Structure 1
């Protein structure tokens, strides 16, 4: 049976950063648009701060050890159509991402890696 949505997971480093951001900012969410540059990276916001709608797909509610509530992961529908056959792995790398994403002041940025599933 084929999954309707791709699986999303966090690397241990991404989970640790999520825990730190949660402690500082409260409940969190991710959104990954189909835009260029930073828009194609997962962006982390306080939960509900980024308005989602019909052009977005909820891919996962991530359970993070040490975080009470799940962290939702949304993706623009157009990008989801391209990535629907992959497992998404959210990682953290050195560098500065978007100024809108909560990790920007930390000197790191979230990055999505992917693996093809069910080929």
Structure 2
């Protein structure tokens, strides 16, 4: 059984559905820098220009979830769970911001058994 690298909570699923209704197809990007880079950002699909070697770790609700290549190297042994918090995050470019919401990632380290069966990633 292949182990997914990313999942999302029900709250995130509901918010993604709401954003898809308004904006159409979406994508996520998480940079490895400070400030808004530490939070996943939601964009209209194609609304963020990927850099060479950025990594798609999977999809949530049919939306690709991309991470900075350096962030992936640091967190490649961790499972990501996309969640939502009330309030404004450090950024302001993510589509959920006007709704008073902020996407957030929760991490946990994969078990040794999970590491043997991880879903493949794709590179930009």
Q: What is the TM-score of this pair, normalised by structure 2? A: 0.83
Compute the displacement of 1:94 (Å): 1.3
| Residue matched to 1:107 | 100
Question: Is 1:72–2:61 an aligned residue pair?
Answer: no
Q: CA–CA distance in 2 between the matches of 1:81 and 1:73? A: 15
Unaligned runs of at least 5 residues, structure 1:
65-69
Q: CA–CA distance in 2 between the matches of 1:60 and 1:89? A: 11
1:13 aligns to what SS in structure 2?
A: helix
| Residue matched to 1:67 | none
Deviates further, 47-56 or 24-33: 47-56
Runs of 4+ in 1 over 6 A off after TM superposition: none
Compute the displacement of 1:99 (Å): 1.1
Q: CA–CA distance in 2 between the matches of 1:34 and 1:53? A: 13
Q: What is the TM-score of this pair, normalised by structure 1? A: 0.87
Deviates further, 51-60 or 29-38: 51-60
Compute the displacement of 1:35 (Å): 1.0
Question: Is 1:42–2:40 an aligned residue pair?
Answer: yes
Q: CA–CA distance in 1 between the matches of 2:28 and 2:81? A: 13
2:52 aligns to what SS in structure 1?
A: coil
Compute the displacement of 1:2 (Å): 9.3
